[in-house]
């Protein structure tokens, strides 16, 4: 018997369709097996596909399972925002007005709705070192010298990224990484490599970001929420900006124009957010 399941494809970190990062959102994953979910994610061939399910805790509005074409993730940024947007577009109401609570592999994630934008509260980051020999190999795979890397760390925000600050935005934009080498250098449990550099002062954004995850089947993620969360973590940890908020741009090299807004709260939390827009709406036939 054929089942029809509500589906949306949402463009995240943009208010203009087809200029952000798409996520496929299956709005009723309760009766799907993990094997079926992975097969659907492989078929959509997007960086992430999500499945909205019943929560297992009364604090949550829904439970989200997140898949790349190759594997399941405990957390990811743009799928969280895109799925929350799709859930609201379906006419669903959160338990608390203006705030959703998502249950996922990393625990509970709160999402604020503000002026047609959504902001997720980043899970508590964990920072560890990248060894010098590993950094040297990563730099070579990116096509740069390790001395060009200003700040670096392995950052875990639910998704784990090897995160590197480069001299400036221009250096970030001109990278031509060796994807096969990056894949081989990405340890198990690490999503990929995120790099960032600061833009000139007159720019409408402060930070240029790129994220590479060839080991997950995603050569370059157009606009990555968790990658930007790792960047925001290093900016705070190393006091690289004085401002309590900034705008990052991502997707330039793959024909997108993503805008990621970052806010640092007094209590120490980091908010990552922006616009979202539905590009496709219909049903999957299973």
Per-position DSSP letters for the chain, written without gaps between them: ---EEEEEEEEES-SSTTSSEEEEEES--TT--HHHHHHHHHHH-SS-EEEEE--SSTT-SEEEEEE-SS-EES--HHHHHHHHHHHHHTT---SBTTEEEEEETTEEEEEEEETTEEEEEPPPPEEEPPPHHHHHHHHHHHTS-GGG--EEEEEESSSEEEEEE-S-HHHHHT----HHHHHHHS-TT--EEEEEEEPPTTSS-SEEEEEEEGGGTEEEESS-HHHHHHHHHHHHHTT---SSEEEEEE-GGGT--EEEEEEE-TTS-EEEEE-EEEEEEEEEE-
Q: What is the mean pLDDT of residues 154-177?
A: 97
pLDDT in tens, 167-188: 999 999 999 999 999 999 999 9
Whether 200 and 279 map to the same domain: the answer is no
pTM over 0.85: yes
Whether 87 and 166 map to the same domain: the answer is no
Whether 54 and 152 map to the same domain: the answer is no
pLDDT reported for residue 197: 98
Whether 81 and 183 map to the same domain: the answer is no
pLDDT reported for residue 188: 92
Whether 202 and 219 map to the same domain: the answer is yes
Counting the structural domains of the chain, the total is: 2
Whether 131 and 260 map to the same domain: the answer is yes
Q: Which domain holds residue 193?
A: 126-265
Whether 259 and 279 map to the same domain: the answer is no
CATH code where residue 64 lies: 3.10.310.10
Whether 223 and 281 map to the same domain: the answer is no
Whether 97 and 153 map to the same domain: the answer is no
Whether 86 and 143 map to the same domain: the answer is no
What pLDDT band is residue 281 in, cutting at 50, 70 and 90?
Answer: very high
Active site residue 103: no
What pLDDT band is residue 200 in, cutting at 50, 70 and 90?
Answer: confident
Candidates 36, 48, 200, 243; catalytic one:
48
Whether 99 and 213 map to the same domain: the answer is no
Whether 107 and 131 map to the same domain: the answer is no
């Amino acid at each position: 018997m054929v089942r029809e399941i509500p589906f949306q494809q949402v463009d995240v970190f943009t208010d203009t369709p087809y200029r952000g990062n798409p996520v496929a959102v299956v709005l009723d994953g309760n009766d799907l097996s993990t094997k079926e979910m992975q097969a659907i994610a492989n078929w959509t061939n997007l960086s992430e596909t999500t499945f909205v399910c019943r929560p297992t805790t009364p604090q949550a509005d829904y439970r989200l399972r997140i898949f790349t074409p190759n594997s399941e993730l405990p957390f990811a940024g743009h799928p969280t925002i895109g799925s929350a947007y799709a859930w609201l577009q379906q006419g669903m109401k959160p338990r608390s007005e203006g705030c959703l609570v998502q249950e996922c592999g990393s625990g509970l994630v709160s999402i604020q709705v503000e002026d047609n934008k959504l902001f997720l509260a980043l899970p508590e980051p964990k920072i560890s070192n990248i060894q010098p020999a590993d950094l040297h190999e990563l730099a070579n795979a990116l096509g740069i010298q390790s001395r060009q890397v200003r700040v670096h760390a392995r950052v875990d925000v639910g998704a784990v990224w090897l995160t590197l600050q480069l001299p400036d935005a221009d250096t970030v934009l001109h990278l031509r990484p060796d994807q096969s080498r990056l894949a081989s250098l990405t340890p198990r449990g690490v999503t990929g490599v995120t790099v960032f550099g600061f833009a000139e002062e007159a720019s409408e954004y402060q930070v240029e970001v790129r994220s590479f995850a060839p080991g997950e089947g995603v050569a370059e993620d157009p606009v990555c929420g968790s990658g930007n969360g790792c960047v925001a973590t290093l900016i705070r940890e190393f006091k690289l900006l004085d401002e309590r908020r900034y705008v990052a741009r991502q997707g330039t090299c793959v024909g997108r124009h993503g805008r990621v807004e970052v806010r640092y709260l007094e209590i120490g939390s980091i908010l990552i957010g922006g616009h979202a827009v539905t590009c496709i709406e219909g049903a999957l036939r299973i």
